[in-house]
Structure 1
């Protein structure tokens, strides 16, 4: 299992559209084979900056999602709304304290 963190920065006028699209598709993303967890965060100070945080069983599962029609349809709506290039990190979870 590994964690995928993506930083997304939007033109302020597009935030509501982004949130609507995310809420419309979040369950489909979470239900995609290999996705074990999905959260969306918003920066407290820069409210046009968001982060997705997801757990994937394998890198192959994430790549399958990124090649899927679901991802392509979401990305085609999301991509034109950015005001900065998105950043992404794939990281291994080493410890978790509950």
Structure 2
């Protein structure tokens, strides 16, 4: 299992549209084959910056999602709202304490 972290920055006026769309799509994204967790975070110091954390069983599962019509619809809508280029990382979780 690995974690995909995506940093996105939006124009302030577009944050409500992003959040509405995310809340509409979140269950579909979470139910994509191989997805085990989906979380959305908002930066405490810059409310225009958001992060998604998603856990995937395999890299192929993420690639399948990224090549799906679901992702195409999510990304086509979301990328119009960006005020900076998004950044993404795929990382292996090494330790988790709960």
Report the Cα offset of residue 45 of structure 1: 0.7
Q: Which runs of 4+ in 1 moved over 4 A?
A: none
SS of equivalent to 2:8: strand
Q: What is the aligned partner in structure 2 of residue 27 from structure 1?
A: 27
Listed as ranges, the matches of 1:9-48 within 5 Å are 9-48=9-48
Supply the distance in 1 between the matched residues of 2:72 and 2:45 (Cα, whole angstroms).
30
Listed as ranges, the matches of 1:1-98 within 5 Å are 1-98=1-98
Q: Alignment RMSD, CA only?
A: 0.4
How many pairs does the alignment contain?
Answer: 98
TM-score (norm 1): 0.99
What are structure 2's unaligned runs of at least 5 residues?
Answer: none
What are structure 1's unaligned runs of at least 5 residues?
Answer: none
Supply the distance in 2 between the matched residues of 1:56 and 1:21 (Cα, whole angstroms).
22
Report the Cα offset of residue 95 of structure 1: 0.6
Supply the distance in 2 between the matched residues of 1:70 and 1:56 (Cα, whole angstroms).
16
SS of equivalent to 1:41: strand
